[in-house]
Amino acid sequence: MVFFDPAGAAAQSHPFDKGPDGLLKSSRQHLLQRNLGERTMKLYDSIGPNPRIVRMFMAEKGIEMPKQTVDLRGGENRQAEHLKRNPHGQMPTLELDDGSYLSEITAICEYLEEKNPTPAMIGATPEERAECRMWTRRVDLNIAEPLANGFRFGEGLKFFQNRVPCAPEASPGLKMIAANRLQWLDGQMADREYLCGKRFTLADIFLYGWLDFGSQVGQPLDPANSHIAAWFARVGQRPSVKA
C-alpha cells in the first residue's frame, strides 16, 4: 500500500503558517502499516514549528504516512475530539497502529526511529543516541522554550491569552534568555558542522525549526552569531526543510 498525503493547510501570512506541504518522495519510503484491519499510523498535523520538526524528521528518514490537518488557528486542537488524542491540546499527535496516541515531538521522533532505525537521525549506538539527546534537551530547554513563551506572552498574546496561561511581563526576559543561550551555543559551534559534529540529527532539526520560527515572530538570529548563521544556511539547503 502506498500512502498519500491529504491536502495541507492553505498558505497564510500568520507566523505559524509554515504549513504542511507533504513529505518528500524517496526511494527509501518506509510504509508504516500493520496488518490490523484498516488501521494504520496517522500524524495529526498543523501549522507551527513543532509539527514541522516531526515532518522534517520523517522526511529525512523517508517515512510516509497519512496525515490529518488540525485547524490550530481555529482552535480545533482545544476541542473535545482532539483532547481525546492529546489532553494537553497540543500539536502534533501520532496515532499508533494499535489505536493509541503519542504526543511530544521528541517522543514521537524517538518512536519513529526505533521503528525505522535507518538512517539513524538520533543515533546508531548508545553513545550517539546519548549525544543527540543531550543536545536536543539543551536546545529545547534553553532556546526553544524561552523563545516560544517570549512570543506567546508578547507578540502572540492576543492569540494565546485565552488558550494557555500567559505572563506578559515575562516576555522580555524570556527573549533575553533565548538570545543569551544562542550566544553560548555560537561558541560551541565554532568547530562543528552540526550539533553532533559530523552527524545531522534530530537536535539540528529541532534548533532549525525554532530559529526559523523565531525569525518570523520578532526574534531573528543575531548576525553576530556567525557560526550558527553558517550552520543555519547549511541546514536550509536540505530538501527536508520544505516538508
Is domain 126-238 annotated with CATH 1.20.58.100? no
The CATH-assigned architecture of domain 30-115 is 3-Layer(aba) Sandwich (3.40)
Q: How far apart are CA 129 and CA 113, in angstroms?
A: 11
The structural domains of the chain, with segments of one domain joined by +, span 30-115, 126-238
pLDDT in tens, the chain (243 residues): 233 333 333 333 445 444 444 434 443 444 444 333 456 899 999 999 999 999 999 999 999 999 999 999 999 999 999 999 999 999 999 999 999 999 999 999 999 999 999 999 999 999 999 999 999 999 999 999 999 999 999 999 999 999 999 999 999 999 999 999 999 999 999 999 999 999 999 999 999 999 999 999 999 999 999 999 999 999 999 999 999
| pTM of the full structure | 0.85
